[in-house]
Amino acid sequence: MAIRAGIAGEWTGMGNADSDGTADAGCGSRPVVFYDGGCPVCRREIAHYRRLDRAGRVQWADIDADPTALDGTGIDPVDAMRRFHVIDAAGRVRSGAAAFTVVWDALPGWRHVARGIRALRLVAPLERVYVRWAERRWRRLQRTRCGSSADACDVRSDSSPAPRRSAR
């Protein structure tokens, strides 16, 4: 995959987590977004961001279509499916609300939103809201993909794709 090939060689592995929940991955100059392309809400949101990213300031990796995109990042595949993850331009792994601010920084029309959120110290309150939303999304997505047997469909840490129910 082009994203991995362009970035993976630059990753030096995971460093220590910062006080804001980020970790240093030693990456290149553009953020890399890891998203669940199997989630209809996620897919629509990323499509919106990609339309705005005409300058190619962000690299996009659909981890549902290619779970190996996470190889060498230090990001757990299950956690990546449950929460939004980004490796920022400085190589730090960010997730949740902090990850959204990284993406918004790179997109026209959203930069001021990201800066305002950080300036007003709203990342932590938004993270609490995001955690609740992400858990609901995960449970609903598991039911949609796997029916009542969500345990049989959990993403496995060996990066192999999760079984899916056929769409009806």
Q: How many angstroms from the chain centroid is the CA of residue 61? A: 8
**Residue 94 clears pLDDT 90, i.e. is over it:** yes
Give the number of other CB atoms < 10 A from CB of residue 38: 19
Whole-model pTM? Answer: 0.71
pLDDT value of residue 35: 95
Whether 154 maps to a domain, the answer reads no
Note whether 93 and 22 are within 8 A (CB).
yes
Task: Average the pLDDT over 71-79 and give the result.
Answer: 94
Whether 164 maps to a domain, the answer reads no
pLDDT band, residue 88 (cuts 50/70/90): very high
Whether 45 maps to a domain, the answer reads yes
Instruction: Specify the number of domains making up the chain.
Output: 1
Angle, CA of 59, 42 and 138, to the nearest 5°: 125
Write out the residue range of the structural domain in which residue 37 sits: 2-146
Whether 153 maps to a domain, the answer reads no
Task: Average the pLDDT over 125-142 and give the result.
Answer: 92
Q: Which of 76, 56, 49 is nearest to 6 (CA)?
A: 56
Whether 155 maps to a domain, the answer reads no
Whether 49 maps to a domain, the answer reads yes
